[in-house]
Chains A and B, each alone.
Chain A
Amino acid sequence: MSEARWIGKSVKRVEDARLLTGRGTYIDDHPPVANVCHAAIVRSPLPHAAIRGYDLSAALALEGVVGAITGADVARHTKPFSVGVTAPIHYYCAATDRVRFVGEPVAVVVAKNRYVAEDAADLVRVDYGPLPVVVDPERALDTTAPVLHEAVGSNLAGNRRLVYGEPDRAFREADVVLTERFSFPKYGSTPIETYGVIARWDPIDGVCTVWSNFMGPFIMHPLTARVLGLAENKLRFIVPTDIGGSFGIKSSIYPYIALIALAAMRLSVPVKWIEDRREHLLASSSGTDRVAYRELAARKDGTILGMRFKWLDNVGGYIRSPEPGCSFRPTGNFVGPYRFQHLEVDASVVMTNKSLTGPNRGYACGHLYFETEGMMDRLADRLGLDPAEVRRKNLVQPDQFPYRTPSGGLYDSGDYPAVLERALQLARYDELRREQAKARATGRYVGIGLALAVDPSVSNMGYVATALDPQFRAKPEYLPKSGAVDAATIKIDPLGRVIAILGTTPQGQGHQTVVSQIVADELGLAPQDVTVVDEMDTFTRVWSISSGTYSSRFGSVGTSAVALAARKLKAKLVEYGAHLMELPVASLEFRDGAVRPRSGKGPSYSIKDLAGRAHWNTESLPEGMEPALQATAVFGFTVAKAVDAQDRVNSSNTYGFIAEVMAVEVDPETAAIQILRYVTVHDAGTIINPMIAEGQIYGGALHGLGGALYEELAYDEHGQFLTGTFMDYLVPTASEAPQIDIAHIVSPSPLTPLGSKGLGESSSMTVPAVIANAVSDALAPLGIWINELPMTPSKLWTAMARACRSHAKSEGQR
């Protein structure tokens, strides 16, 4: 790199001007084809039922209706999606013979406009034979529970028992053993822009083109091609430049891509479908609800010896890829930032009559740290230690990096104690404790919570295979999986201006801005000299199955591809300059936008000068040099390896760290929680644009807060869905959003050219833990430990009232 003029600066975003003036190009603004027709999806009103038949006559008779497809067409003309487990689960893009959750698609009606399509959808008659229902994951494993998939024989989609080290010995040798049951709610980040798909079938070329706000991973592209019976080079995915938020949720749009593509293929018209909010809440995607049983073994001094996790993750009516990532995405960081070596994980993936799940910001890590950090506070309480002390004692130390975790993670860099101390200092922790003691003395419920998290970025595709049995993976026909790559192309035009082309799918993360900063630094330009194109198109972009903008990828792998492409180009410019100057390459360097002698003396050639010559006069190129000034780089992590026979896998590639402190007060009358102070300190390696990084932290924190306090995709025991509007599904507004004190510590990653790591999921994975711990601490006088989210006022109030009553009773007995 020449010098960092732009990296590290809060450069204002190039995306903003168009988005602020209503000139964004989101999927619903997109008129890519003429004569597009509009789809409405008919959905099951029942949570579990056999489909006995369809009657489309009234719908098809309506004026303006073009046609319809049903589950029968889906069964006849598509294949089921492959799933991440070996159990025989047939997941099609719409129900074929049985519905398994409220909102499951059963038919699609296509009409000249959406109004008519919805009228017609109301006229579709489906004959259902209701079946018994189960929504609770523990109940679902009862032998008497109704079974959703008869071929599977039970509701267990998969189970793995992973053993690292000698957990049984750790528990035998422990001074203290703690156990707790936790439950985590089903919630989704509900981007304000819903799903959208536009599909066009060209029967002459045999190409199906699909525009959608899909965010990747692009492994779903070959899976969808297989479902539709198309060769992969006959299915074209295009993603418009602007996506209205996603947070993992839009990775699960691909079944709708298949469904709308099928409608376009069967009806021979281009079809557009924009999901409405009710559909989104009913049947897009969410994280799993989980029941967890935790055990912790420790010595008297607070040293953790081992842990046991037993999880039941509820994936809903079917298991949709990339599930069961809900259990295995954090495999490498199961132990979080702690040094203990002995761990047992018993992960069950359970199917019930709820909607389907998938990645949601913090994918599985919000669950993980809610439990682990809850256990850390229980340990501190049991031993009479300060919660900060018990954590300090167990942290991975700075001299241990790169640190290999017992489950195979390779933590690339960090200084966990420094980040923790910075958070405590920023929060004025000791002072907070003194204030808390005073408040408690006057009967107020003030509490302080801590939470630490290793923040994994850039998933290694290989982790998904942890779900499979090692014997299965050992079969010769089994193909191991690994990898995390991204690509970028940079071109210099004859006047020396630059275009960078990405295959990413940003949803608000500002890739255009960040890339312009990196390229400007590398090539000695200003960011405004760099135009960044980031419209994904599987026909024209360089991509691979792990491509996409998910798992906090871009800050780590995408930026690396950009830097490498720029460096390739720079090397070419130096070689060309050396040829023109008749000097040895080694005597020259690229500095401040020009090829110059390292000595500082003699002539130099600017980018503009070199670009003009190279484009206009190829004769001037040295022998063997490829004409034109462009370079493509594909960056891949070599630490992304397949899962080994002992179930160890480096499930991500770069690992940041988060330490948080939160102080809260709980109102004794209303059980309302007020956040008094909230501090978060992050180490995500080199920060390219601090403004954007902080924006991600604010946004991530509010997602965590939503899940901890307000949001739940709720069902009654009959499987009916209760939260189908934003009046019932409570998204935090500005009035609920906390102020946050943010600080950074920088431990550059040795694995990326810029030293950067990902940060996009950030505090979404720590806030459920930190606020639960703070509230538990506040309510310690009542003996209440939070082990269930969301902490709605009614739940909390009931727990407080019960505790007060039993308190009063025991006082009375004394």
Chain B
Amino acid sequence: MVTVRLKVNGVAHEGRCEPRKLLVDFIREDLGLTGTHVGCEHGICGACTIMFNGEAARSCIMLAVQADGAELGTVEGLMRDGKLHPLQEAFREHHGLQCGFCTPGMLITALDLLRTNPSPSDREIREGISAVLCRCTGYQGIVNAVRAAAPILASGR
């Protein structure tokens, strides 16, 4: 067993786990943050995407021990003062989700895209979110949501 100390959504946590424990399992099981989902466990579907020291990363192909000392962001940390984040609001407005299973990874990935490219073209949005698989929406609602949220996020910066 090893000790892992990290910050998630600004809150410090400490846990003990086997060295082989996946980061996503640690987040879900040990920290009880079940918003981050597992869709493939081999780094392709993107459902498990989180913010890792400010950049999007797949928590299913990392070990919890690798996150010792790191700052993570998960979907549970997106709301501010009890209100939906503008990107969450845009997903709701533009029907960017159906079953919601890809959604946490999709939100984090889209935020990462908008961080590096605040006013992406539709093609850039599609490329940016192609790191996450969605089986429900055909992606159009997601593209519309990201496009709509971009200027709102840019002006809030």
Is B a genuine binding partner of A? yes
Chain B proximity mask over A497-530: 1 for CB below 8 Å, otherwise 0: 0000000000111100000000000000000000
Chain A proximity mask over B79-116: 1 for CB below 8 Å, otherwise 0: 10000100010011101011111111001000000000
Query: Complex: how many Å from CA A702 to CA B35?
Result: 26
Kindly identify which residue among B37, B44, B102, B140 contacts A726, using a CB–CB cutoff of 8 Å: B44
Q: Which of B107-129 touch A at CB < 8 Å?
A: 107, 125-127, 129
* A282: min CB distance to chain B, Å: 13
Instruction: Tell me if A755 is interfacial: C-beta within 8 Å of chain B.
Output: no
Instruction: Tell me if B21 is interfacial: C-beta within 8 Å of chain A.
Output: yes
Kindly identify which residue among A12, A190, A702, A733 contacts B130, using a CB–CB cutoff of 8 Å: A733
Query: Complex: how many Å from CA A277 to CA B40?
Result: 5
- Contact (A698, B141) CB under 8 Å given A277-B39, A277-B42: yes
Pick from A238-246, A581-589, A594-602, A789-797 the stretch touching chain B. Answer: A238-246
Q: Which of B12-35 touch A at CB < 8 Å?
A: 18, 20-21, 28, 33-35
Query: Complex: how many Å from CA A694 to CA B137?
Result: 9
Kindly identify which residue among B28, B98, B129 contacts A510, using a CB–CB cutoff of 8 Å: B98
Chain B proximity mask over A193-219: 1 for CB below 8 Å, otherwise 0: 110000000000000000000000000
Task: List B contacts of A737 (CB < 8 A).
Answer: 126, 138-140
Instruction: Tell me if A23 is interfacial: C-beta within 8 Å of chain B.
Output: yes
Contact A192 B102 (CB under 8 A): yes
Instruction: Tell me if A24 is interfacial: C-beta within 8 Å of chain B.
Output: yes
Contact B103 A20 (CB under 8 A): yes
Contact A16 B75 (CB under 8 A): no
Query: Complex: how many Å from CA A26 to CA B36?
Result: 11
Nearest opposing residue in chain B for A24, CB measure: B100
Nearest opposing residue in chain B for A695, CB measure: B95
Contact A731 B140 (CB under 8 A): no
Contact A115 B126 (CB under 8 A): no
Query: Complex: how many Å from CA A354 to CA B113?
Result: 41
* A504: min CB distance to chain B, Å: 14
Instruction: Tell me if A22 is interfacial: C-beta within 8 Å of chain B.
Output: yes
- Contact (A242, B99) CB under 8 Å given A22-B75, A726-B133: yes
Task: List A contacts of B126 (CB < 8 A).
Answer: 733-735, 737
Interface size on A, residues (CB 8 A): 55
- Contact (A19, B103) CB under 8 Å given A698-B137, A702-B139, A731-B135: yes
Task: List A contacts of B64 (CB < 8 A).
Answer: none
Contact A242 B100 (CB under 8 A): yes
Query: Complex: how many Å from CA A69 to CA B99?
Result: 34
Contact A739 B133 (CB under 8 A): no
Kindly identify which residue among B21, B45, B79, B107 contacts A115, using a CB–CB cutoff of 8 Å: B21
Instruction: Tell me if A45 is interfacial: C-beta within 8 Å of chain B.
Output: no
Task: List B contacts of A739 (CB < 8 A).
Answer: 140
Chain B proximity mask over A434-461: 1 for CB below 8 Å, otherwise 0: 0000000000000000000000000000
Kindly identify which residue among B45, B74, B129 contacts A22, using a CB–CB cutoff of 8 Å: B74
Q: Interface residues of B toward A: which range? A: 35 or more
Contact A244 B42 (CB under 8 A): no
- Contact (A699, B137) CB under 8 Å given A191-B99, A510-B98: yes
Instruction: Tell me if A567 is interfacial: C-beta within 8 Å of chain B.
Output: no
Contact A21 B138 (CB under 8 A): no
Contact A740 B95 (CB under 8 A): no
Kindly identify which residue among A26, A507, A733 contacts B37, using a CB–CB cutoff of 8 Å: A26
Instruction: Tell me if B38 is interfacial: C-beta within 8 Å of chain A.
Output: yes
Instruction: Tell me if B142 is interfacial: C-beta within 8 Å of chain A.
Output: yes
- Contact (A701, B138) CB under 8 Å given A16-B97, A193-B99, A277-B42: yes
Chain A proximity mask over B126-157: 1 for CB below 8 Å, otherwise 0: 11011101111111111100000000000000
Contact B140 A16 (CB under 8 A): no
Chain B proximity mask over A6-24: 1 for CB below 8 Å, otherwise 0: 0000001101110111111
Q: Which of A257-291 touch B at CB < 8 Å?
A: 274, 276-278
Instruction: Tell me if B41 is interfacial: C-beta within 8 Å of chain A.
Output: yes
Task: List B contacts of A509 (CB < 8 A).
Answer: 98
- Contact (A20, B98) CB under 8 Å given A737-B126, A737-B140: no
Query: Complex: how many Å from CA A642 to CA B13?
Result: 61
* B98: min CB distance to chain A, Å: 3
Task: List B contacts of A245 (CB < 8 A).
Answer: 98-99, 101, 135-136
Query: Complex: how many Å from CA A769 to CA B103?
Result: 31
Instruction: Tell me if B51 is interfacial: C-beta within 8 Å of chain A.
Output: no
Contact A699 B74 (CB under 8 A): no
Instruction: Tell me if B72 is interfacial: C-beta within 8 Å of chain A.
Output: no
Query: Complex: how many Å from CA A136 to CA B28?
Result: 43
Task: List A contacts of B142 (CB < 8 A).
Answer: 734
* A393: min CB distance to chain B, Å: 33
Nearest opposing residue in chain B for A727, CB measure: B44
- Contact (A276, B91) CB under 8 Å given A193-B99, A737-B126: no
- Contact (A192, B76) CB under 8 Å given A508-B98, A735-B127: no
Task: List A contacts of B93 (CB < 8 A).
Answer: 12
Nearest opposing residue in chain B for A739, CB measure: B140
Contact B104 A22 (CB under 8 A): yes
* B77: min CB distance to chain A, Å: 9
* B65: min CB distance to chain A, Å: 14
Kindly identify which residue among B34, B103, B138 contacts A698, using a CB–CB cutoff of 8 Å: B138
Chain B proximity mask over A681-697: 1 for CB below 8 Å, otherwise 0: 00000000001101101
Query: Complex: how many Å from CA A194 to CA B39?
Result: 7
Query: Complex: how many Å from CA A15 to CA B136?
Result: 15
Task: List A contacts of B74 (CB < 8 A).
Answer: 22
Instruction: Tell me if B56 is interfacial: C-beta within 8 Å of chain A.
Output: no
Kindly identify which residue among A243, A278, A734 contacts B99, using a CB–CB cutoff of 8 Å: A243
* B96: min CB distance to chain A, Å: 9
* B99: min CB distance to chain A, Å: 3
- Contact (A189, B135) CB under 8 Å given A21-B76, A21-B84, A725-B40: yes
Query: Complex: how many Å from CA A699 to CA B44?
Result: 20
Contact B137 A507 (CB under 8 A): no
* A552: min CB distance to chain B, Å: 15
Most A Cβ at <10 Å: residue of B21, B36, B95, B138: B138
Instruction: Tell me if B4 is interfacial: C-beta within 8 Å of chain A.
Output: no
Query: Complex: how many Å from CA A15 to CA B44?
Result: 26
20 more contacts with CB within 8 A, not counting A13-B95, A244-B99, are A16-B91, A17-B92, A20-B103, A21-B78, A22-B75, A22-B104, A191-B99, A192-B39, A192-B101, A193-B37, A193-B99, A242-B99, A507-B99, A699-B137, A734-B130, A735-B126, A735-B130, A737-B126, A737-B138, A740-B140
Q: Which residues of A contact B (CB under 8 A)?
A: 12-13, 15-17, 19-24, 26, 28-29, 115, 189-194, 242-245, 247, 274, 276-278, 507-510, 691-692, 694-695, 697-703, 725-727, 731, 733-735, 737, 739-740
A selection of 24 A-B contacts at a CB cut-off of 8 Å is A19-B97, A19-B103, A21-B88, A22-B34, A22-B74, A26-B34, A28-B37, A192-B39, A192-B99, A192-B102, A192-B133, A244-B37, A244-B101, A274-B38, A276-B41, A507-B99, A508-B100, A695-B95, A731-B133, A733-B131, A734-B129, A734-B134, A734-B139, A735-B127
